Amino acid sequence: MIPTRKDVKASPTKEDIIQRVGSPKSYGVVMRCWHDADDCLPPPGPQLDPLMRQLQQGEVGVSFFPNGIRDILPESNFVLIDRSFQPGDLCKRSIDDVHSGVVTSVEVKARLAHAISGEPVEGWKSVDQFERSTTAEVGDYVLCDDWVGQVIELFDESIIQLAGGQLVRLPELSSRLSVGDKGNDILPPAMGASNNFFMGSSNAPGNVDTVVHVEHTVLAVCWLAINQTLNPAEAQVRRRPQRLWYKEDLSKLTLIKTRSDQDIRVGDKVFLKDATDAPVTVHGQEGDPAGTVTISALTVQETHTTVNVLWQDGMQETLRSTALIPHMNPDEYDCWPGDHVLCRNEDRQCAVVVQYVNASERIASIRYSDTSTELASVLELDPHGTSDLSVEVPHSTLGVRRGDFVFIHPDGATNGLEKPRVPKIGEVEPWVREVPVTAEGHLAGWRREMAEIGAEIATNRGPGRGTEGKVRRPLKQDSWLIWCGEVTGVSTFTIILLDTSSISQSSQLRLDGTAEVTHPNSIVSVYPLERLTKLYDGIEQLEDDGWAGDTSDGDESVDENGDGLWLKDGEGVWRYRLDDADGNEWQETDKNEDGVGDGDEDDGMDVEDDGMDVDDDFGTDFMTVSSHPDTPPPLPEPISAVAPFSAAQKIFDDAEGPVSNSNMDQESNPAGAGADLSPWKRFDILESAPHDHAFYATAPSQPSKNFIGRLTKEYRVLLSSLPESIIVRAYEDRTDLLRSVIIGPDNTPYQDAPFVIDWMLDSNFPHSPPMAHFLSWTNGNGRVNPNLYEEGKVCLSILNTWSGEKSESWSAARSSLLQALVSIQGLVLVKEPWFCEPAYEKLRGTEEGIVNSRLYNEKAYCLSRGFVRRALESPLGGLESDITWWYYTNRRLEKVILDSRALIAKSKLPPGDDDRELAVPRLTGGGIITLERTLSKLQSLLDSHR
């Protein structure tokens, strides 16, 4: 039974089907939402598309059908009709719910109408009543000669009915037309009639053309990877197939439709298997050059979607899709039953399989390879493999997910990586990236060739003639199609109903780490993870802004022993796993995969001297600084290797003058009488730079007169104006290096924790900003802050590592080292760091933002307590006495322990009124597990010192 609209209550999200309130026949598809994290600002200037303007809170961009009108309106103007999900999508019951699930399967029913006449088809139709599509669309996978490829472009031959009833053919590259499309701009400007195509519309104003038939006559296919069951001798002779396919050659392609490709949405065109009572229209007249066209295509008018969900706690449920919301911003520690994750704690690091998750307490049941299970904090789990820094595989993931297209390795062979890591292979061919048009606006390269072939086919076509070849669909008897498939499950299970009146179900999951794969011939098999390799989707590669591969086209490398995995071509693009006779592994691939290079620094400043226009005490003269974690840091200029300059102490002496570099005063020192003897000088110059400095191995440059003059001013400001919670150390033998310690501010998740940043001033300083390297001590358990990367990047506009406003960037005249330090403390180590991500700032004050910020703060708090332990167990060079004094003599370690234990005790009590004012008001069970592990180490350090 289809639920009534009054049962449907949810806010619109992208791709929802909605209905305008008070207008029962006005339907639309949501294209943009104000809260989308990936919704970027539109380009400046006037926009032809009405959906391109910036969205205000509570607005959605909607495309209405069938008229195609697009507009931005308040979401309160609409009621939700249906919501689309695909297997593998994440979902929740509500925005503020921390409990989430993964969609395991989807069932869609549709109401249909004839694509041209609009005559409705009675009743709801299910997907299994539709004919399987034999039309290849952009993004579809195809197979040929043991290669898997992806359709990246189409040449269409459409038949258009003019207002007067005449049919004309329209051959066009990438027309993106479909049967039933109407408009007065479908045909290009009149070009004369030749064999009734490229004729152009001569309709009077207001008349519309109608698309009555579309056929893809030429396909451009990018071949991504080869069958992994082949031995090297066979693979060597299977060269990539041709890139353009047409006429008889089309029948050599086998079309693979994944479950997501078969998803039915409003506006799709479908055909019924039993079309006995379905409406049909006939267009054209016998004897006309274009012949007649019979249309049985139907348009999806409305959908009803039901989904099966596997929740984190292992329960399964079948629900109406509108009772769920997409989980768009999952926590970095979110995981679900059957997921392969890395477990990292003080005792060991190993791969485990998640059995179930208590999301509210952030605790998971995990299974080890010896089949034993235990409860663990999710804060100690890495679902993405980012903590496994020893693995240097450019494209690999932990485990597989539903919807992944995978290759199967022969029985007894493996994918070559240590379980649970799975390689991802496939490389976009270089010709795909050719410039699409010339400077004169004409088609270029393969697109021009494709258009010429398509036009020739259309020219030579007679009335009623069809394409000479058709792409084939797999058949069940195609046993040769078991070398690839789609992951349709990550575990097998038996359903046990709790009671007959309840939708909720309990699963006895066999979560052994195997994966269920559905082959193209519909045969379903279960494979161990080590026999699978994922396909790196070509469209995904082209859309991935961070992907930069070698576009050269070389031959495939082969392993003569026959025990390898094809991962590499002759130019380093393909990667091929091979185990040679001596047992050596991996001939590694990508050059400069980490993105490190040797580009020149552009100072971008027109400054004639090195004076900085700031007051020595700085007062309130700080510029506005923004931060963002997505822009990579600038690359430093090469610094020549010359003898170090040792005049730093003279600079210090000149800078000191009458300014006092006093220690912390009595009032700020809980230890009392020992304050005057503390080594906690806010600024000091040591004799030599420590060997563990991040930039120690970088050869220093001979400082210029301008460099020394500017450094004198920087030292003077640091000497007089550093806050008590920041210390900086410079070095006599390396004037280009500094080391700083920033103590986390009160009422932030970073309170009392040390944040160590190493700095280097290149030869172009101050025209180029200082370079910073953050010493992350998270042990691979994730970032402690969105702007402080585990690899050391500090993302901040004043350092030119984030493209903020020009006034926020580094300026030789306006900026200073002190400003950079105080910006990190005041703008990065903040009370709610989750909102430092610009995409999330718009969610401040929303339920989703509140929940995600709370979870992030707990993680940041637990990780930063580990920073205290790391600083005490392995003090960094030049800071030993400072750290010892601050945490032992000054009793900050004792404070950290007492505060943490008080927080744990409070977390076991009901929430209080002060919770909303605190950065970390309470902890989940998983947070307590992680924090107690760290506290036991800190207590041991304190006891040993006493």
- Give me the active site residues, please: 795
- SS3 assignment for 630-664: CCCCCCCCCCCCCCCCCCHHHHHHHHHCCCCCCCC
Distance CA 100, CA 310 (A): 9
Query: What residues have CB less than 8 Å from 431, skipping those under 6 apart?
Result: 243, 445, 446, 553
Distance CA 141, CA 150 (A): 5
Beta strands in 52-181 (DSSP E): 59-65, 70-74, 78-82, 90-92, 100-114, 125-126, 141-144, 147-161, 167-173
Distance CA 482, CA 517 (A): 10
Cβ atoms of 67 and 272 within 8 Å: the answer is no
Residue 946: Cβ within 10 Å count: 7
Cβ atoms of 167 and 284 within 8 Å: the answer is yes
Cβ atoms of 283 and 295 within 8 Å: the answer is yes
Listed residue (425, 44, 1, 452) closest to 226, CA to CA: 425
> First and final CA of the chain: distance in angstroms?
72
Listed residue (618, 563, 459, 706) closest to 228, CA to CA: 563
Distance CA 946, CA 942 (A): 6
Radius of gyration of the chain (CA): 32
Judge if the upstream peptide bond of residue 420 is cis by omega within 30 degrees of 0: yes
Angle formed by the axes of helices 847-873 and 925-945, nearest 10°:
20
Could you tell me the CA-to-CA distances from 213 to 114, 138, 558 in Å, in that order? 13, 18, 46
DSSP state of 77: G
Distance CA 566, CA 570 (A): 12
Q: Where are the alpha helices (DSSP H) in 127-252?
A: 232-237
Distance CA 31, CA 266 (A): 13
Listed residue (808, 710, 793, 713) closest to 758, CA to CA: 793
Give the DSSP per-residue string, 466-515.
--S---B---TT-GGGTTEEEEEESSEEEEEES-TT-S-EEEEEE-SS-E
Beta-sheet strand order (sheet of 340-344): 373-377, 363-367, 349-358, 340-344, 381-382
User: 342: which strand partners?
Assistant: 351, 382
Give the DSSP per-residue string, 238-293.
-----SEEEGGGGGG-EEE--TTTT---TT-EE-BS--TTS--EEEE-TTSTT-EE
DSSP state of 733: S
For 915, the 3-state DSSP assignment is helix
Could you tell me the CA-to-CA distances from 45 to 32, 41, 662, 856 in Å, in that order? 19, 12, 56, 37
Cβ atoms of 182 and 476 within 8 Å: the answer is no
Cβ atoms of 168 and 187 within 8 Å: the answer is yes
Cβ atoms of 302 and 81 within 8 Å: the answer is yes
Token readout for 367 is 């299974």
**Burial zone of 774 (CB within 10 Å; 0-12 exposed, 13-18 middle, 19+ buried):** buried
